[in-house]
Every structure is written in C-alpha cells, then in structure tokens.
Structure 1
Amino acid sequence: MHFTVIMRILGILMMLFSLTMVPPMVVSVIYQDGQVNFFLEAFVLILIIGFLVWLPVRNKQQELRVRDGFLITVMFWVTLSLSGAIPLYVSDNPDMRFVDAYFESLSGLTTTGATVITGIDALPKSILWYRQQLQWFGGMGIIVLAVAVLPMLGIGGMQLYRAEAPGPVKDSKLTPRITETAKALWYIYLTLTVVCAVCYWLAGMDWFDAISHSFSTVAIGGFSTHDESIAYFENHWVELVAIIFMILSGVNYALHFAVIRSRNLIVYFRDPEFKFYAGLLVAVSLFTVASLYFTKTYSLNESITLGVFEVVSIATTTGFATADFAHWPLTLPFLLFVIAFVGGCAGSTGGGMKVIRVLLIYKQGIREVKRLIHPNAVIPVKLGKKPVPDRVVEAVWGFFSAYMFMFVFMLIGLLATGLDQVTAWSAVGACINNLGPGLGEVAYHYGDLNDVAKWILCFAMLLGRLEVFTLLILFTPAFWRR
C-alpha cells in the first residue's frame, strides 16, 4: 500500500476542493447575506490542511495499485464530506451541530438529497447555492474530475476509475485514455446542466433557482431551494423540464457518448439496459396514473402530471416532490419506494442497485426456471444478442446478497435506536439508494432522528454511493495483508 502517495493525492484533492468555497462567497457578496466570512474561513482552513497533508509527501510519485484505488476512493468521500461540512458547521444560519452538518454535506456529495434542515426558504442565498453545488460536484463524482486532472500532476488514474465504477460495465471505456474518458463524461454532464438551467429559466424560474435546480436535477440529487421542492413553482412547464432531465440523467453516460458520436438516436433503443429502464418507467407511470384516477384521488389531468412526475423522480432516485406520495392510496407509496431500489442505469448519476444488475438478476431467474424444465440444456444469459459470462452474473448475485445483508444489518441498527419499522425501513432504503425522502418520520426531513441513527444513515449513504463492495472491501483482513 502506497500510503505516502495516497496522502499526496488527498492533499491535492483538499486544496482543489477549497476552491469550491469561492462561488458561494461570490453569491454571498451579490446578495449581501452575511455569509462570506464563514465561507472564507472554510476556504482557508481546508486549503491549509490540504497543503500540510501534501507538503511532506509532495515528491512521492508512484503508480497506484488496485488496492490503493479502493482506499483513496473511500478516503476521498470521507475527507471531502468532512471538508464540505465546515461552512455549514461554522455558519450562524443554519445553526447546525457537527453531526447534522456532516449528514447534510455527505447527503449532498452522495446526491442522496436527505436533509436535516427545515425552513429552507429562509436560508441565506449562499447557503442555498452551496447545498446545490455540493450535489452537482457529487453527481458525477468529483473523482472523475480528479481523474482528468491528476494525470497531469504525475498521478495515474485508471485504478481510481475502476474503484469508482464497480459492476459489470466497469471496464468499458469511452476512449482509450482514461483522461479523455473523464473529459468526455464531464463535457456531457456540463452540457446537460447548462441546457437544463436555460430550460428552467424559459419555463418560468428566475436565474438563481434555474441554475440551482439544474445542479440537483442533472446530479439526480433532489435538493431544492424551497421547502416545497418543485411544487413551490406550481408550473407544469417546470415539472416537464425536470422530468426530461431526470430521465436523461438516469441513462448511462457511456450510452449518451455513443449516441453523440454516432449521431443516431436509435443507439438508445438498441441498448438492453435502456429499454428495460424506459419500459419500467412507462409501466409504473401507467399503473400510478390509473390508480390515482380510478380511486378519485385526483382529476385525470392531475393524475397524469403528479403521477408521472413522482414516478420519474423516485425511480431515478432524484427525490424532487410535487405531491405527498407517502399518503397515496393502495400500494402506491410502497411500489414507488421499491422501484427506487432499481435506480438509474449503470454509469449514470442515479442511485439504487442499477438497472443492469436488476435486469441480469431477472434473466438469471428465468434461466433457473428453464433449467428445472430442461436440466441438461445449456442456457446462456444474454443482454441483447450477446451472452453474459457466468462470472459477471455471479458478481451481480454477490452484490445483491451483500447489499441485502447490509440493508438488514442497518435496519436492525435503526430499530435498536427506537425508530418505528416504517421509518427505519424507508430511511435505510432512501439512504442506501441515494434517494432522499422516505416514509414515516423521514417523509419530509431527517432532522428529528437521534444522532446514532444519523451516523448509521451516513454509512448507508456512503455505502450506496460506492456501490457496497468499494467500502466493504476495506473491512476484510485480506485487503490489508501484503
């Protein structure tokens, strides 16, 4: 393990992260909200700590190994979320304890969108901007930006990319060089953000809200500058813009790249994961709209607008709201919450288990049924027309078992703190899937939970963001053996 190289990278990352305090300072000056000194304090503190970490090991240059990549990835998220909590902790508005500041920072960077803050409308503009900005940087993973920048500083990046994107598609590269891959992802991400902001503005938002919500929409984060979320605007055009960009952001960015390169939209519909993703959204939307209408919960028009919005928001793990889905009739609250476990496509900014894993689990289940009928038949699992290696299918089942084990483990932990079953179950589900809003006591915010529960949920958010194995591998003795 190259600890000196890891410390050097962390120091550089902290110094780079300190620069993210500059935009909120500018916003604070523009709106004269009295927060500029707090962000200045955070900027100086993070910069100095990063410099002191980097200085003793500045000349250490070695290529990262795979194990180094896993460790630096986890330390990256822990360190950056601690750094991100500083301005929230030192600010006088909101007045937050450390556990709350860390929870909010980690929720932003992991694009979970679970908040402990109430009275969001009354917060200073710079704090509102900062929360949205955290989600924007976390959406694609600041690590990808680092992969594009750090090679120029003499640090290899392939191991970081592999650790950040575990799963069946982790080895597919958009371009031969990892730096070009990271740049391509960021160009697409930035373009989507700019276009989304312009569309929000054209739909009726002011520039501040348009830019702020474009950050959390493209990041699939769900933070808003208003307590009522998207419902605050009472504007169907705003909702339509949100739906379109939530769907786009839930698609594999490698697929976006392939479409742009080929200039052919048909590429989307040739992809098995995209077809399953789109089909799931359409099917659940139709069921939800029909349920809302025939139970006379809303009129037909409201059933369509509210139902489709909530389905897309929850299914993509964004967490925006235009209605209180927790009180909808029949099985709708449970159904919507369960589809968040599927989440977005692999290689997207969405959370959840990822569509491709669920698709492979489904196909493996079908194969086992066929094997009962034809015990001696050779039945491959296929994505499209290509057979999937059994090793990949085994890895997906391994992920699923680890995911469910950790879910149950954290659920028991929350129940032990005194939470009721609905709150505990939905809180773990919302955090491990990076969704945000849950059911029960966490339908609106997490501020009333006890401190132990908040720390457990912080672990759940980190576990979900790193897709389980990247974090769990650090707890295995074999990882630390030479």
Structure 2
Amino acid sequence: MTFGAVQKVFGLLLILFSFSMLPPVIVSLIYNEGWAWPFWVAFGLIFGLGLFIFLPVAHSRQVLRVRDGFLVVVLFWTVLGLAGALPFWLAPNPAISVTDAIFESISGLTTTGATVIIGLDHLPKSILFYRQQLQWLGGMGIIVLAVAVLPMLGVGGMQLFRAEMPGPMKDSKLTPRITETAKALWYIYLWMTIACTLAYWWAGMSLFDAIGHAFATIAIGGFSTHDQSIGYFHSTEIELIAVWFMVLAGMNFTLHFMVVRRQDLRIYVQDSEFRLYLVVLGSVITITTLALYDSQTYTTWWDAFTKGLFQAVSISTTTGFATAEFYLWPPFIEILLLLASFVGGCAGSTGGGIKVIRFLLLIKQGVREISRLIHPNAQIPVRIGGKTVDHRVVDAVWGFFSLYVASFSVMYLMLAATGLDLVTAFSAVAACINNLGPGLATVGPHYADLNDTAKWILCVAMLLGRLEIFTLLVLLAPAFWQR
C-alpha cells in the first residue's frame, strides 16, 4: 500500500471538491438571499483539510497501484458525503440534524435522490441549487473529473478510473490516454446537460429550474426543486423531454462517444446491451400502461400511457423523478416498477441498479448451463456482440450478484430490526442500493420519518450501490492490507 500516493490524491481531491461550495454562493447573491456563510464556512473547512492532507506529501513521487485506487475512491466518497453535509447542517433553512444532513449529502452524491427534506418549495435557492449540483458532480464521478482536469496528479489515473467507473468491463478505454478518456466522457456529459437545460427552458421551466432539473436528469439523480417533482409543472412537453434525456443518460456513455466520433447511429443498435435495455424499458412501459388502464387508475388511454411511460422510464433507469404518486398505485405495478430498478441502466452510464450488461451475462450463462445439461461435452462460450466473453468476467458477474444479494439481505434484516414494516424495509433497501430514491409505503414520498439507525444503514446501502459492492467490500478483505 503506497500511503503517500493515496494521501496526495486524497488531499487534492478534497481541495477540488471544496470549490463546489462557491457556485451556491453566486446563486445566493443573484437571488439576494442575504446569507451565504454556510457555504463559505464549508469551503474553508474542506479546503483547509485538503491542504493539510496534501502538503506533507506534495513532493511525493509514489505511484498509485490498483488497490490504492480502491482506497482513494472509498475514502473520498465517504469523506465527501460527510463534508458535503456541512451546508445542510449549518444553514438555518432547512433546520435538520447531523444525521439528516449526511443522509441528504450522500443521497445527492450517489445520485440516489432519497430525501429527508420536506418543503422544497420554501427552501433558499442556494440550498436547492447545491442539492442539484451534488447530483451532477456525483453522476459521472468527481474523481473522473479530477483525472480529466488534474493531470498534475501524476500518480496513475487509470487506477482511479478503474475503481470509479461502473460496470464489469472497465478496462476498455475510448482514447489512448486516460486523461483524454475522462475528458471525452465529461464533454459528452456536459453537452448533454446543456442540451437538457435548453430543452427544459424552451418547454416552460424557469432558467433556475431548467438547470437544476437538467443536473438531476443527466446524473440520473432524481432530486427536484419542488416537492411534487416533475409533476409540479403539469406539462406533457416537459415530461417527454425528461423521458428522452433519462433514456439517453441511462445508456453507456461509451456508445455516445463512438457515435459522435464515427458519426454512425448504427453503433447503438449493434450493441447487445443497448438492445436489451430497450426491450426492458419497452416491456415495463407497456405492462404498466395496460395495468393502469385495466385497474381504472386512469380512465383514459392517454393518461395511462403518459403516467405509465414517465414512471416506468424514471424508475427503470433509477432516476426517481415522479409525476404521480406511484406508491399508491395497485400493488402489481408497484412491485413491477421496483423490480425494474434492480436491472437499472447500462454499464458506463450514470444509472444505478445491477446494470443491464450483468443481467445479459447472467441470462447467457443460464442458457449455457441448460445447453451443457443437454450436451455435457460441448464447449459453449458466452458471447456478446459476436465476441467471446472472458470467463473471468462471467465469474466476476456471478461474484457481484452473490455479494449484492447477501448485502441486500443483511441490510433488509437490519432495517426490519429497527421496527420498520417489511414493505418499507424492503423497498428502502432496494431504492437505496439501486440508487433509485423513492420507495414504497413509508418511504414513498420521503425518508424523513425513518429513525436515525435506519438512515445510517441506508447511507451504507447508497455507497454500496454507487461503488458497486466490490469497491467498498474489498477493503474488508485482510489480503487487501497485506504487502
């Protein structure tokens, strides 16, 4: 373990994050709110801590190894969640506890979108902007941003990139240099955010709401500047724009990059994961629409379709926006939507869940095992896109799935032990580990009514989901700390 390199990177990343406290100050000045001191205090504390950690090893020439990258990522997201809570805790509005402030911060950075704050319509603009900004920074990963804009790190960017980026196939690079890869991803991320902002603004949102909701949409976050979420606007145009960009943000950003570089839309349809992604979305949309109309939840096909379309896409991609109280819909639809969030978005997207590519590999592996029963001596490879998948990738997917189920089960039991009913406990863990946000029963509208113990458990669930299980749990292995 090269602790000098870890300390150097960790300090620099904290310094970088401290500057995220300044845009809300500007928003506060624009709207004449008369106070911005919580953000100035947070900026000073985080910047000072980063400097304190960085300066002793500023001249270190140690290089990060792969397992060092894991430690940096886990440390960063954990400390980031704590540091990001400072403005929420210090601000006079909302007046929330330390636990709630940390929960809100981690929920934003992990793009979960589970909130404990009630009365969003009455919050200061600076706090609202800060919530949305947290999700936008967490969407692509502030560490990938650091690799893109801080090549001065000089301590092995690929190690951070592998530890940070979601999905089972992290070694594929879009460009020869890792800094160029990170820049390419962030350019796409930025331009999608700008396009989404302009579309929302054109459809009738104020510029402030358009920017805030674009941050959350492209990050697959789900935070809103209003208690009624997207439903506040009562606009079909805004809902359809949100659906379009949620679908795009739930796709693999590598595909977006390749389509732009080669100027060939066929790259999308040639991708096996993308095709399954569309099949899952299409199936959930269709079933939800039919069930809403058949149950007379909505009396017209148009209402059933628009409400079903939005909620199906929002929950399937783990965004968490809402235009209706889906947690009050018939139980069949509630369960269908919640299960769809387990699939989530594509690998290399800002979405949560287990990821479409993993489900595709699990399906293909299951089909292969059935074929082996029929033909015991046959050599049957697992193929995706015409290419044979390395058996180590398949093994890693099974390992991930096993740890996912085990982690889910343990946290489900722990939540039930705190006194929550089983539906609330199950949906809360599902919504947080899948980085979805809204759940069922008590946690349908918000998480404010949960006890503090449950909130801390769910904070761990959000981090597990954001860091994709392995990155966090690998630190618990004794072999990780051996030389």
Q: What is the CA–CA distance in structure 2 between the aligned matches of 1:238 and 1:362, rounded to whole Å?
A: 36
Higher alpha-carbon deviation: 448-457 or 229-238: 448-457
Q: Is the alpha carbon distance of 1:330 and 1:112 closer, same or farther for their aligned partners in structure 2, counting shifts above 3 Å?
A: closer
Name the CA distance, whole Å, in 2 between partners of 1:166 and 1:197.
25
Amino acid paired to 1:204: G
Is this contact kept in 1: 2:135–2:216, CA < 8 A?
yes
Q: Distance in 1 between matches of 2:209 and 2:145?
A: 25
Helix, strand or coil at the partner of 1:174? coil
Equivalence for 2:466: 465
Aligned counterpart, 2:413: 412
Question: Which residue number corresponds to residue 480 of structure 2?
Answer: 479
Structure 2 letter corresponding to 1:117: I
Bigger drift between 232-241 and 9-18 goes to 9-18
Paired letter, 2:210:
A
Which residue matches 1:138? 138
Task: Say whether 1:402 aligns with 2:403.
Answer: yes
SS of match in other structure, 1:467:
coil
CA distance in 1, matches of 2:34, 2:419: 39
What is the alpha-carbon distance in structure 1 between the residues aligned to residue 195 and residue 407 of structure 2?
A: 38
User: Which SS does the other structure have where 2:150 is aligned?
Assistant: helix
Q: Distance in 1 between matches of 2:187 and 2:244?
A: 19
Indicate the residue corresponding to 2:217 in structure 1. 217
- Whether the 8 Å contact between 1:35 and 1:124 is mirrored in structure 2 is no
User: Is the CA contact 1:2–1:64 (under 8 Å) kept in the aligned structure 2?
Assistant: yes
Tell me the SS of whatever aligns to 2:85: helix
Counterpart for residue 435 of structure 1: 436
Equivalents in 1 of 2:376, 2:153: separation in Å? 56
Query: What is the aligned partner in structure 1 of residue 384 from structure 2?
Result: 383
Secondary structure (helix, strand or coil) at the match of 2:296 reads coil
Matched, 1:392 2:393: yes
Match for 1:53: what amino acid?
I
Q: What SS does the aligned partner of 1:454 have? A: helix
Could you say which residue in structure 2 is the equivalent of 1:371? 372
Distance 1:351 1:132 in 2: 17
Conserved 8 A contact 1:35-1:91: no
Deviations 1:178-203 (A, max 9, x none): 00000000000000000000000001
Match of 2:451, as an amino acid?
N
Give the stretch that moved more between structures: 218-227 or 321-330. 321-330
Show CA shifts across 1:44-70 (max 9, x none): 111111111112221112110111111
Question: 1:452 Cα deviation (Å)?
Answer: 0.9
RMSD, matched Cα: 1.0
**What pairs up with 1:16-415 in 2 under 5 angstroms?**
16-165=16-165, 167-298=167-298, 299-329=300-330, 331-415=332-416
- C-alpha distance in structure 2 between counterparts of 1:327 and 1:93, whole Å: 30
The one-letter code matched in structure 2 to 1:315 is S
Whether the 8 Å CA contact 1:414–1:456 is kept in 2: the answer is: yes
> Is contact 1:109-1:135 (8 Å) kept?
yes
* C-alpha distance in structure 2 between counterparts of 1:182 and 1:167, whole Å: 16
Task: Give, as a single letter, the amino acid of the residue that structure 1 aligns with 2:477.
Answer: T
**Aligned partners of 1:343 and 1:259: how far apart in 2?**
22
Take 2:393 and 2:212, find their aligned partners in 1: how far apart are those partners?
39
Flag structure 1 segments of 5+ consecutive residues without an equivalent.
none
Would you say the 8 A contact 2:139–2:219 is kept in 1? yes
The residue type equivalent to 2:218 in the other structure is V
C-alpha separation between the residues in 1 aligned to 2:297 and 2:12?
54
Per the alignment, do residues 123 and 412 of structure 1 end up closer, same or farther by CA in structure 2, a change over 3 Å counting?
Answer: same
Q: Aligned partner of 1:152: which letter? A: M
Q: Answer whether contact 1:166 1:470 (CA < 8 A) is retained.
A: no
Query: How far apart are 1:30 and its partner, in Å?
Result: 1.0
Report Cα offsets for 1:437-480 as digits up to 9, x if no partner: 00111001111111111111000000000000000000111111
- Work out the CA distance in 1 between the residues paired with 2:168 and 2:383: 13
Shift of 1:98: 0.9
Counterparts of 1:385 and 1:17, CA distance in 2: 42
Alpha-carbon deviation of 1:353? 0.4
Distance 2:170 2:153 in 1: 24
For 2:301, the aligned partner's letter is L
Rounded Cα–Cα distance in structure 1 between residues aligned with 2:452 and 2:330: 33
**Is the 1:113–1:221 Cα contact (8 Å) retained in structure 2?**
yes
Displacement of 1:167: 4.0
Q: What is the TM-score with the length of structure 2 in the denominator? A: 0.98
User: Per-residue deviation at 1:227?
Assistant: 0.3
What SS does the corresponding residue of 1:456 show, helix, strand or coil? helix
Task: Give the AA of the match of 2:390.
Answer: P
CA contact (8 A) 1:217 1:246 kept: yes
**Letter aligned with residue 339 of structure 2:** V
Question: Within 2, Cα distance between the matches of 1:226 and 1:165?
Answer: 30
- Which aligned pairs between 1:6-25 and structure 2 lie closer than 5 A? 6-25=6-25
One-letter code aligned to 2:95: D
Give, in angstroms, the shift of residue 2 of structure 1.
1.6
Residue segments in structure 2 that go unaligned for 5+ positions in a row: none
Question: 1:166 Cα shift?
Answer: 5.5
- Tell which deviates more after alignment, 443-452 or 143-152: 143-152
Counterpart of 1:305, as a letter, is: T
Under a length normalisation based on structure 1, what TM-score does the superposition of the two structures give? 0.98
C-alpha offsets along residues 241-272 of structure 1, whole Å, 9 cap, x if unaligned? 10000000000000111111110111100000
Contact 1:35 1:126 in 2 (8 A): no
